[in-house]
């Protein structure tokens, strides 16, 4: 099998549904459950995109006589990277960039980890059973590619007490931990805090980058992947944002509620061939950086955020056009703010490709500097984007009779009084509903939180940037400048 269709994705979900719980009850079939069925259709639409004749070349590549998703291609040249970036942007546009965890994100992770599989060979375990961690990682990438799987992932431990290490919690298995090694695999118990897009085929539990333990070996260090319907594994979903409204009323929430779930491992058996790393804290903490997975994921993200910022620009300018506010200088200035953010993100994407280099595993890897800048810059800037829509739309973003209202008793009055300067009431209300879902609805509110944290805690990301960035040349230049005693030519000493 190669790049799948939407129908194949839905059939697979029906056959092996993830163990989801919503409002206290098991979701027997996510493709028909009211809170998840529209998201399933949206994912199916995303899979179908790669089969559209005009997009096939852009969204898939050929290998071994089959076509596979572009996000799983191993980039060997800068041109390959640019092709992957274009595919990321095309797919991001499908949801206006509001689907944070489309399969592309984890594909980038698995591709880089699969190519960097040699890293996992450094992990050694005691005892008779000597797993082939590197082979497992490499084969898992091929498996994901050949079946075009949809993955979710979970990295962080439950919040319980951030002043304590996982081993100091009231119960040693609050944080996900290794219980025992068996002939047929490793038993895992505990929980992980967040897995976005639990409507997936498999979950990747990759080494957490924030594991702090006193010992070199810890039961909390691990990397593995298993199907989302593995016995003992459960996903407790948050309150759904798709509440069954017409897409005209909730244009984003009714289509792209990717869900976030708390993940519980109740003595889950992970077969040996699906284990990539065990016990080694340092290897676990460095895995994302050492395999460059973090850069390939950040490259997907920067492309996604370009699409998302374009959506904010388009919506903001459409509001300005609708209410005729474009002549006011502060309105122009607010739209200009979005343009600046967009152009900065586009430039960082271009710079990431321009500065790309081949890593030790032969993979063309986007440059770290621009991507670190993007992932530190955008979370802070994003807070301003919904605010700008609110400032530009004002009461228009709240006074939005629904589709049912428009078709009801007061329909003629709504058509008259809520028309736009350049459009009918129907088109105006659709536009403002979109602005509301982007910036104010429960869907929009979750987006704001998502942008702050999805790539990690912004505070610690800043610290990490401070630690890794080579500040030496800049310090050296200042040192040299301070040593200079000469004055510019032509200026007398006593001037
Ligand atoms: C909508 C959403 C979707 C997400 N999706 C996923 C997903 O799919 N998969 C996944 O693995 N994760 C996901 N995450 C989790 C994300 O990785 C974390 O939110 C992020 O790493 C921060 O961790 P935390 O939420 O546990 O915050 P905490 O670590 O609990 O931090 C809470 C507060 O305490 C501060 N704090 C805590 N510890 C320290 C410290 N050591 N130093 C300084 N300050 C500290 C933080 O700055 C913050 O202000 C998602 C998060 C959100 C909000």
Phi, psi of 60 (to 5 degrees): -135, 165
pLDDT recorded at residue 210: 64
pLDDT recorded at residue 488: 76
How far is ligand 1, taken at its centre, from the CA of residue 456, in Å?
A: 6
Phi, psi of 320 (to 5 degrees): -60, -45
The verdict on residue 487 lying in a domain is no
Domain match, 276 and 127 both:
yes
The verdict on residue 492 lying in a domain is no
Last residue of a domain, one of 237, 268, 290: 290
Q: Are 210 and 460 in contact (CB under 8 A)?
A: yes
For residue 448, how far is the Cα from the chain centroid? 13
How far is ligand 1, taken at its centre, from the CA of residue 203, in Å?
A: 19
pLDDT recorded at residue 494: 58
pLDDT recorded at residue 490: 67
* Nearest atom (ligand 1) to Cα of 458: 47
The verdict on residue 57 lying in a domain is yes
How far is ligand 1, taken at its centre, from the CA of residue 414, in Å?
A: 44
Burial class (CB in 10 A: 0-12, 13-18, 19+), 3: buried
Domain match, 277 and 298 both:
no
Pick the residue whose CA is nearest to atom 22 on ligand 1.
457
Query: Ligand 1 pocket: which of 235, 457, 464 to mutate (most atoms <8 Å of CB)?
Result: 457
How far is ligand 1, taken at its centre, from the CA of residue 457, in Å?
A: 5
**Angle, alpha carbons 67-70-76 (nearest 5°):** 105
Domain match, 143 and 71 both:
yes
State the total domains in the chain. Answer: 2
Judged by DSSP in three states, 118 sits in helix
Domain match, 261 and 329 both:
no
Pick the residue whose CA is nearest to atom 5 on ligand 1.
196
With CA atoms as reference, report the closest residue to 63 among 125, 176, 139, 142: 142
The verdict on residue 42 lying in a domain is yes
Q: Are 152 and 196 in contact (CB under 8 A)?
A: yes
Pick the residue whose CA is nearest to atom 10 on ligand 1.
154
pLDDT recorded at residue 96: 98
Q: Partners of 204 in the beta sheet?
A: 153, 225
Q: Are 68 and 3 in contact (CB under 8 A)?
A: yes
Pick the residue whose CA is nearest to atom 20 on ligand 1.
456
Domain match, 325 and 363 both:
yes
Domain match, 337 and 191 both:
no
| Two structure tokens written together for 308 | 């998302």
Q: Are 140 and 110 in contact (CB under 8 A)?
A: yes
* Nearest atom (ligand 1) to Cα of 457: 22
Handedness of CA 343, 344, 345, 348 (dihedral sign): positive
pLDDT digits 0-9 by tens, 138-181: 999 999 999 999 999 999 999 999 999 998 999 999 999 999 99
The verdict on residue 490 lying in a domain is no
CB-based pocket (< 6 A), ligand 1: 101, 153-156, 159, 162, 193-196, 260, 446, 449-450, 453-454, 456-457, 459-460
Strand order in the sheet with 233-237: 25-26, 20-22, 233-237, 260-271, 185-196, 177-182
Last residue of a domain, one of 226, 258, 290: 290
The verdict on residue 495 lying in a domain is no
Last residue of a domain, one of 275, 290, 305: 290
- Within 10 angstroms of residue 377's Cβ, the number of other Cβ atoms is 17
Integer Cα distance of 424 and 242 in angstroms: 27
Domain that holds residue 410: 293-476
Element (H, E) at 217: strand 217-227
pLDDT recorded at residue 127: 79
CATH number of the domain that 367 lies in? 1.20.140.10
| Two structure tokens written together for 333 | 């200035």
Domain match, 183 and 220 both:
yes
Phi, psi of 119 (to 5 degrees): -60, -40
pLDDT recorded at residue 73: 98
How far is ligand 1, taken at its centre, from the CA of residue 193, in Å?
A: 9
How far is ligand 1, taken at its centre, from the CA of residue 159, in Å?
A: 8
Domain match, 367 and 270 both:
no
Domain match, 455 and 307 both:
yes
CA distances from 436 to 71, 317, 391, 419 (A): 31, 15, 12, 17
pLDDT digits 0-9 by tens, 81-123: 999 999 999 999 999 999 999 999 999 999 999 999 999 999 9
Integer Cα distance of 13 and 29 in angstroms: 8
Q: Are 147 and 199 in contact (CB under 8 A)?
A: no
Element (H, E) at 57: helix 56-59
Domain match, 224 and 358 both:
no
The verdict on residue 221 lying in a domain is yes
CATH number of the domain that 100 lies in? 2.40.110.10
Pick the residue whose CA is nearest to atom 37 on ligand 1.
162
pLDDT recorded at residue 491: 61
The verdict on residue 493 lying in a domain is no
Pick the residue whose CA is nearest to atom 1 on ligand 1.
450
- Within 10 angstroms of residue 434's Cβ, the number of other Cβ atoms is 22
How far is ligand 1, taken at its centre, from the CA of residue 91, in Å?
A: 27
Q: One digit per residue, pLDDT tens: the chain, 495 residues?
A: 699 999 999 999 999 999 999 999 999 999 999 999 999 999 999 999 999 999 999 999 999 999 999 999 999 999 999 999 999 999 999 999 999 999 999 999 999 999 999 999 999 988 777 899 999 999 999 999 999 999 999 999 999 999 999 989 999 999 999 999 999 999 999 999 999 999 999 999 987 666 777 778 899 999 999 999 999 999 999 999 999 999 999 999 999 999 999 999 999 999 999 999 999 999 999 999 999 999 999 999 999 999 999 999 999 999 999 999 999 999 999 999 999 999 999 999 999 999 999 999 999 999 999 999 999 999 999 999 999 999 999 999 999 999 999 999 999 999 999 999 999 999 999 999 999 999 999 999 999 999 999 999 999 999 999 999 999 999 999 999 999 998 877 666 555
pLDDT recorded at residue 189: 98
Domain match, 282 and 324 both:
no
Judged by DSSP in three states, 78 sits in helix
| Two structure tokens written together for 302 | 């920067």
Integer Cα distance of 105 and 97 in angstroms: 12
How far is ligand 1, taken at its centre, from the CA of residue 137, in Å?
A: 26
Integer Cα distance of 18 and 196 in angstroms: 13
* Nearest atom (ligand 1) to Cα of 449: 53
Pick the residue whose CA is nearest to atom 7 on ligand 1.
195
Domain match, 298 and 407 both:
yes
């Amino acid at each position: 099998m190669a790049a799948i269709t939407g129908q194949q994705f839905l059939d697979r979900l029906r056959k092996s549904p993830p163990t989801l719980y919503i409002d206290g009850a098991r979701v027997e079939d996510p493709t028909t459950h009211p809170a998840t069925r529209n998201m399933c259709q949206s994912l199916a639409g995303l899979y179908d995109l790669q089969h559209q004749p005009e997009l096939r070349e852009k969204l898939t590549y050929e290998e071994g006589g089959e076509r596979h998703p572009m996000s799983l291609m191993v980039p060997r040249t800068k041109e390959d990277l640019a092709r992957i970036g274009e595919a990321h942007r095309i797919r991001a546009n499908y949801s206006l960039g509001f689907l944070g965890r489309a399969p592309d994100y984890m594909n980038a992770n698995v591709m880089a980890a699969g190519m960097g599989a040699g890293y996992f060979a450094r992990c050694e375990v005691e005892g008779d059973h000597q797993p082939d961690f590197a082979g497992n990682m490499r084969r898992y990438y091929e498996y994901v590619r050949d079946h075009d799987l949809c993955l979710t992932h979970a990295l962080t431990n439950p919040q319980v007490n951030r002043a304590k290490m996982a081993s100091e919690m009231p119960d040693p298995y609050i944080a996900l931990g290794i219980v025992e090694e068996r002939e047929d695999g490793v038993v895992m118990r505990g929980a992980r805090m967040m897995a976005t897009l639990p409507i997936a085929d498999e979950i990747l539990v990759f080494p957490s980058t924030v594991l702090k333990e006193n010992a070199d070996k810890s039961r909390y260090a691990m990397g593995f992947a298993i199907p989302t319907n593995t016995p003992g594994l459960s996903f407790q979903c948050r309150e759904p944002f798709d509440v069954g409204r017409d897409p005209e009323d909730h244009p984003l929430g009714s289509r792209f509620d990717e869900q976030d779930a708390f993940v519980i491992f109740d003595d889950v058996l992970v077969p040996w061939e699906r284990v990539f790393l065990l016990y080694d804290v340092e290897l676990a903490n460095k895995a994302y950086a050492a395999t460059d997975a973090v850069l390939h994921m950040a490259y997907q993200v920067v492309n996604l955020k370009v699409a998302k910022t374009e959506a904010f620009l388009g919506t903001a300018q459409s509001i300005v056009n609708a209410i005729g506010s474009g002549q006011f200088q502060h309105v122009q200035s607010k739209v200009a703010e979005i343009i600046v953010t967009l152009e900065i993100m586009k430039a960082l994407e271009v710079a990431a490709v321009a500065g790309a280099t081949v890593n030790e595993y032969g993979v063309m890897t986007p440059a770290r500097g621009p991507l670190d800048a993007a992932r530190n810059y955008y979370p802070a800037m994003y807070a301003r984007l919904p605010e700008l829509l609110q400032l530009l739309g004002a009461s228009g973003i709240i006074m939005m009779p629904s589709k049912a209202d428009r078709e009801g008793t007061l329909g003629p009055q709504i058509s008259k009084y809520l028309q736009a300067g350049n459009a009918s009431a129907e088109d105006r209300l659709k536009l403002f509903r979109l602005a509301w879902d982007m910036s104010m609805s429960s869907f929009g509110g979750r987006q704001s939180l998502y942008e702050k944290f999805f790539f990690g805690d912004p505070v610690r990301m800043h610290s990490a940037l401070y630690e890794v960035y080579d500040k030496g040349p800049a310090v050296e230049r200042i040192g040299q400048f301070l040593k200079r005693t000469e004055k510019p030519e032509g200026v007398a000493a006593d001037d």
